[in-house]
Amino acid sequence: MARDDLISGNVWEQYSQKVQDRMNNPKAMGELNQADADAKGARLIVADFGAESCGDAVRLFWLVDEATDAIIDSKFKSFGCGTAIASSDAMAELCIGKTVDEAIKITNKEVEAFLRDDDGTPAVPPQKMHCSVMAYDVILEAAAQYKGVERSILENQDIVCECARVTKQEVVDAIRNNNLTTVEQIGEITKAGTFCKSCIRPGGHEEKDIYLVDILEDTRAQIDKEKLEVAANTTQSGEMSFGKMTIVQKIKAIDVVIDEYIRPMLVMDGGDMEIIDIKENLPYFDIYIRYLGACGSCPSGATSTLYAIETTLKQKVNENIRVLPI
């Protein structure tokens, strides 16, 4: 049965013409062997990767010039659906001419974009986007084999969206930097969750360890916590709150208010004052003062003058200040 008969109507129209062409006539399908490598003085790399979720598998062949690390030829064999064939074909073609390190940076987003007929229309329906993830995975396998290292050394273990190859940190950064509040906004900025949608919340095509809704909730909660902490540690003018100041900072803050609002009043009557100590008796801050000059023997030092000093400091510094003359 022809492939056109298997996929019909609107479903078929969800695949770009480039995808359809590569499904039927892949350009890079085939094998490379040691004789091919010897003929070009290159190293042969053969890497396999299989997707447990759908049973698709791909084998990637590279001929690599070890002097430059450049991939001089690339072919593939794919065991799976038409989308897997088309994406693997595009992936193999994109590898040619790149160094191994450059090939590692080829993501399935790049493969999907390469297969689009126009920039604004996805090449495949969202539920099939996961098929192109194998392109990235098999490249990692090939690169790890070429470099003689474990694949885990090359891959980012914190991938949240396999389709768009978006990491958790990229999502967190997007939320913070753009003040995002919905998963739709996350998708607009990072493309995460815009293809197969499995990474948005539980119940999708593939089970995930963490979902976009979880990251959004956790990050927004952390942002709110930080805002509360900032608010608690700053005054309305944006300065550090009195309670978070060191003892030296507290004395300086009180001295500024005394010099501007209180001392001129006392000096006019031949008196003055000085701060002796500040003690925390939460929720209160007890300010111990000593009157100087005429204030030392003035009866109002324990009544109206004391009330005026304390009221001013409450208004200008902190409402929990108590002034105690000694």
Residues pairing with 49 in the sheet: 58
CA dihedral 189, 191, 197, 202 (to 10 degrees): -50
Residues pairing with 59 in the sheet: 48, 77
pLDDT, average across residues 287-295 = 92
In contact, 219 and 183? CB cutoff 8 Å:
no
pLDDT of residue 11: 67
Q: Which residue has the higher pLDDT, 202 or 119?
A: 202
Residue 248 has pLDDT above 70, yes or no: yes
Residue type, 284: Y
How does strand 159-161 pair with strand 271-281? unpaired
Residue 88 CB: number of other CB atoms within 10 A? Answer: 32
pLDDT digit string, tens, across residues 226-236: 776 655 555 54
C-alpha 88/C-alpha 155 separation (Å) is 19
Residue 5 has pLDDT above 60, yes or no: no
Burial 136-152 (b: 16+ CB within 10 A, else e): bbbbbbbbbbbeeeebe
Give which of 265, 325, 267 is closest to 299, Cα–Cα.
325
Structure tokens at 170: 């990229």
Q: Which domains does the chain have, with CATH numbers?
A: 1-155 (3.90.1010.10), 156-232 (no CATH), 242-325 (3.30.300.130)
Among residues 131, 196, 199, 295, the one annotated as catalytic is: 131
pLDDT digit string, tens, across residues 54-78: 567 889 999 999 999 999 999 999 8
pLDDT digit string, tens, across residues 105-157: 787 778 888 999 988 888 887 766 666 667 778 898 999 999 998 887 776 55
Instruction: Let me know if 131 is a catalytic residue.
Output: yes
C-alpha 164/C-alpha 152 separation (Å) is 19
Residue 35: in which H helix or E strand, if any? helix 34-39
pLDDT of residue 2: 39
pLDDT of residue 230: 59
Give which of 15, 22, 17, 163 is closest to 89, Cα–Cα.
22
pLDDT of residue 142: 95
Structure tokens at 6: 């298997």
C-alpha 70/C-alpha 309 separation (Å) is 79
